[in-house]
């Protein structure tokens, strides 16, 4: 049974992994045996995260690139594979949030959300998949959101992007499953992360969330690791195009 979930001798690239959910997932994959490739745009933050992860005994490399830049992504992924070997697992985690009423939402921020939350999944997913297809195997895990299924005031464009991530995941599975790839998504509920700092620090919102969520609390980023290891491992060899909600039950209740 342990072999089903082992990631020994596999390499995982996690985008947006210098902090928050991305860093937690990278650490969890390392603990399952994977060699880790951290990604981000800020080289300083990336180096600090890599040093911290190496302190746990993980094997770590840094790969700085802008996930919204198609040409830069292709160059980085192709160069890494040529120099260091296969990327067996991709976790598309890079993302951003911007909150304001829809009638006042700046057009430039809408475009930035589309590029960061959707286009990056396409760019990095395609670049990695081209190598995975040639090898006949690979795992792609896209980080969706509870907003893939639900909406709430002030974040309509974010909800749009996460709905797109859910459908892009289905499209990846539809095109690439026949080549031996499993493409799935994890949809976190409300987690205590830098992206949600404003909400975590809002007593009124936290009280509402605790009442709205059957589990009665914010999620801890470490609680996403099990889902990520499952979808990265042989245990999920016939799971494809699926969005796994890790949300304390919020999407199951009204």
**Would you tell me how many other CB atoms lie within 10 Å of the CB of residue 37?**
25
Q: Per residue, what are the HEC states of 27-86?
A: HHHHHCCCEEEECCCCHHHHHHHHHHHHCCCCCEEECCCCCCCHHHHHHHHHHHHHHHCC
Please, is 144 exposed, middle or buried when counting C-beta atoms within 10 Å of its C-beta (0-12, 13-18, 19+)?
Answer: buried
The residue from 23, 98, 158, 190 that is catalytic is 158
Reduced DSSP (H G I as helix, E B as strand, rest coil) percent helix, strand, coil of the chain, to 5:
55, 15, 30
- E strand map for the chain: 11-14, 35-38, 60-62, 89-92, 138-143, 181-188, 243-246
Q: Which helix (H) or strand (E) holds 156?
A: helix 156-176
* Residue 93 CB partners (closer than 8 Å, separation 6+): 14, 15, 16, 17, 21, 22, 25, 143
Instruction: Tell me whether residue 245 is one of the annotated catalytic residues.
Output: no
Catalytic (active-site) positions: 158
């Amino acid at each position: 049974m342990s072999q089903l979930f082992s990631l020994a001798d596999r390499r995982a690239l996690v985008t947006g992994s210098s902090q928050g959910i991305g860093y937690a997932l990278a650490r969890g994959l390392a603990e399952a045996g994977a060699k880790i490739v951290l990604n981000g745009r800020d080289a300083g933050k990336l180096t600090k995260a890599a040093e911290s992860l190496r302190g746990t005994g993980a094997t770590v490399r840094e790969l700085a690139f802008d996930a919204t830049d198609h040409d830069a992504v292709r160059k980085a992924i192709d160069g890494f594979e040529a120099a260091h070997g296969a990327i067996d697992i991709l976790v598309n985690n890079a993302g951003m949030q911007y909150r304001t009423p829809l009638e006042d939402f700046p057009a430039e921020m809408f475009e930035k959300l589309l590029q960061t939350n959707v286009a990056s999944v396409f760019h990095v997913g395609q670049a990695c998949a081209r190598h995975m297809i040639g090898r006949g195997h690979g795992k792609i895990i896209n980080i969706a959101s509870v907003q893939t299924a639900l909406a709430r005031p002030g974040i309509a464009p974010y909800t749009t992007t996460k709905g797109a991530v859910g459908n892009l995941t289905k499209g990846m599975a539809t095109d690439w499953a026949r080549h031996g790839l499993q493409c799935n998504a994890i949809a976190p509920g409300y987690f205590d992360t830098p992206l949600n700092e404003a909400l975590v620090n809002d007593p009124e919102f936290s009280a509402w969330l605790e009442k709205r969520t059957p589990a009665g609390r914010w999620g801890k980023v470490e609680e996403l690791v099990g889902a990520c290891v499952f979808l990265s491992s042989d245990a999920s060899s016939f799971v494809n195009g699926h969005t796994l909600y890790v949300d304390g039950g919020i999407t199951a209740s009204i």
